[in-house]
Amino acid sequence: MRAMDWMDVRSMVRSEEGRDSAGDRLKPEPGLLDGLNEPQREACRHVGGPLLILAGPGSGKTRVITHRIVHLITEGGVRPDEILALTFTNKAANEMRQRVERLLPGVRGIWVSTFHAMCARILRREIEVLDGFTRDFSIYDTSDRNALLKKVIRDVGLDLTKFRPAMVGGWISDRKNRDFKGTSALEDLTGPPGFDEEMLGRVQTKYEDAMRAANALDFDDLLIKSLVVFDEHPGVRDVYARRFRQVMVDEYQDTNRVQYLLTRHLASGHGNLAVVGDPDQSIYAWRGADIRNILAFEEDFGAPKVIKLEQNYRSKGNILKAASAVIANNSARKAKSLWTDAGDGERIAVIECGDENDEAREIAYQIQGWKAHGGRLSDVAVFYRANFMQRAIETALHLAKVPYQVVGGVEFYARREIRDLLGYLKLVVNPSDDVAFSRVVNVPARGIGETSLGRLASWAEDQGCPMLAACRSAEALAAIRGRAKKGLAAFGELVERLAPIRDIDASVAIDLALEEMDRDRWLRAMDDGTGIEDREANVDELRSHAAEFDRLNPEGKLRGFLQDIALVSEVDGLDEELDKAALMTLHAAKGLEFQLVIIAGVEEELLPHARSLAESGASGSTWDALEEERRLFYVGMTRAGERLVITHAGTRHFFGDQRWTRPSRFLDEIPPELIEGQAADGDEEDVLGVYEPSASAIQLAVGDRVEHDHFGPGRVEQLQGSGVNARALVRFTHHGTKQLLLQYANLRLVGGAV
């Protein structure tokens, strides 16, 4: 254990406070709380003791958090550097930070970040109290983790087709989070382990050893190592607990056990903990979120102030009524009464389709109609429960010429040229990072084959040193011949020349690294016949991003930049400036809002997912799995502002097999009077083509002659459906047969039937 000079630590913290404690000189805009409703104002005025804010969807919780921060500084006697605000995505943290700065120009020193970013920041200072790590540690993303696990699985002698790195990584993540000192027992690992679990345990041990040798942390480690520091070194914990007099946690229902314990540590000195959340939006149990953290907040933190934010500023009344009716069927919740003064709006569209291709075409029709009525595509989102559903939807949108973007996360950072460049930078900052070394040692090509690399790795493992150090050793290189030997030696020299860039601005560091790498040669080597323009543009984009990081974070340097991009989340991939419809899973939709939302595949075994149905009745916790599926549907519904469309198919292909499907049980929980095309008693309305919000809707009969703004004259050949489902098959004189949704077609009668 490293000896720690606590006076130095406290001095460091006080020094930061001295620079950032200008709160008493800052003035907010006049009437800070005037635009808030009464529960929002009450939450902002609360200063001392625990606070639970139950915030329904669209109820302005981010506004409350940011206004409360400013109120604490200007009226509550709290310095900016004494405030810690935690959330779950970079997007949410950045928005929160920007709102505070707009409300209180010139404010500095507030810690507004994700849990992972906060822990990385703390560990950059404190990790050396733990054996085996230094402050220059690398942060391994999922791809890095899987690359290391692939090697470890091979070393243990296991079959990679059975023990897939992604699967093994998920198992290790789950075990690390629940097998941590102070967390609950491993309920699903009781009794003697089977062969697979025994082998997985061996892989985990070697993986942890390799991570320590590489001076690297994965995402789980950022949280867990921070908790170890706080648990085993209370002096360190006390420094941060005393510094942060006010701790706020957004999306508290999404916290896992480790985040819960971290929060307790940070609020231990004063009890001024404010959490904001909604049990009805807890949808991440599969990655460790524990809904009990928010359900039991009153018991855990002793008679907190409880404030409910129930006025919704996003959705029309019928959407809220439908969503509230669905979620009321859950038992693990805290009751709320959502309301809006924006009017009822349209009823919910529930559309039955033939198969997934028919469903995808229907989705394209809906989006085209929205666009035809003046709607922006950037206000449209299509949600689905499983990624495989994306293919049919993409195909239909492509054929319909509907621009779209898939919100799937970190595609930019997964591109080869970006991973190569980042690999160089990571290795320079952390010379022990063997994953980064293996990625870039032969980039550009240096004649280093797998055999030579294997010999180097074996020597390094025997000597207990990183591979980069090995390629600078004459003894290690003695067993390697020819071009590979020269290539390894040259690579070692190159990284050594780059060593000074670890302490300079990220953009300058990238420029120098590209120069040493011979940028043009490196990019040309990746040319697959399609040119290198896109790869050049991607490298330039990374450099521009680094320059912006330098501007906003002058103290961050290269280390801070690498840390920042290592923590990119899925939702951060949404580009709201593009006028394109967004496609994403329901899980990725959390925290977003759109005017038109289409939820596809609302069927049994999809939503609720077959996994939750299979679990029901198997144990005491199985009903929770079904309730989480209902919460997921509720989250999707409440992303919609103006219009909500729900689709389901009669048949669907699952992994090559066509299956008959049944509508989801959740659809039966929506009151019939809230659904287009249904009367209050559940009977379908029998008026074809009626669409309430459209003044141009008409009643049609087969044989009617009609006129369309784009397709011109035609004749109605078939009518089907009712209400929002009403469609007409029209044979146009010059454009052939088209199927049109009557609510959007704006057809005009031009004569009698023919």
For the stretch 361-385, pLDDT in tens is 999 999 999 998 899 999 999 999 9
What is the Cα–Cα distance from 246 to 79, expressed in whole angstroms? 10
Whether 527 has a pLDDT exceeding 80, the answer reads no
**pTM across the whole model:** 0.76
Q: Among the options 221, 251, 278, 359, which is catalytic?
A: 251
Is 405 among the residues known to form the active site?
no
Q: Among the options 639, 643, 715, 727, which is catalytic?
A: 639
The encoded tokens of residue 383 equal 């949600």
Q: Among the options 281, 368, 390, 585, which is catalytic?
A: 281
C-alpha atoms less than 13 angstroms from C-alpha of 43 in its C-beta half-sphere? 31
Over the stretch 209-253, which tens digit does the pLDDT of each residue have?
999 999 999 999 999 999 999 999 999 999 999 999 999 999 999
Whether 420 has a pLDDT exceeding 70, the answer reads yes
Is 81 among the residues known to form the active site?
no
DSSP string for residues in 281-312: G---GGGT--THHHHTHHHHHTS-EEEEE-B-
Is 577 among the residues known to form the active site?
no
Asked if 469 and 460 count as a contact pair (C-beta separation under 8 A), the reply is: yes
What pLDDT shows up at residue 279?
A: 94
Is 95 among the residues known to form the active site?
no
User: Hey, what's the torsion of the CAs at 224, 227, 232, 238, to 10 degrees?
Assistant: 160
Over the stretch 681-713, which tens digit does the pLDDT of each residue have?
444 443 333 333 353 457 888 999 999 877 789
CB within 8 Å of 167: residues ≥ 6 apart? none
pLDDT band per the 50, 70, 90 thresholds, residue 159: confident
Residue type, 617: G
Whether 1 has a pLDDT exceeding 80, the answer reads no
Is 281 among the residues known to form the active site?
yes
What pLDDT shows up at residue 387?
A: 79
Q: Among the options 61, 237, 419, 590, which is catalytic?
A: 61
Residue type, 108: R
Angle at 377 between CA 375 and CA 382, to 5 degrees: 115
Name the percent of the chain in helix, strand, coil, to the closest 5: 50, 15, 35
Q: Among the options 10, 20, 42, 62, which is catalytic?
A: 62
Q: Of 145, 121, 105, 350, give the one whose Cα is nearest residue 226.
A: 121
What pLDDT shows up at residue 21?
A: 42
Is 62 among the residues known to form the active site?
yes
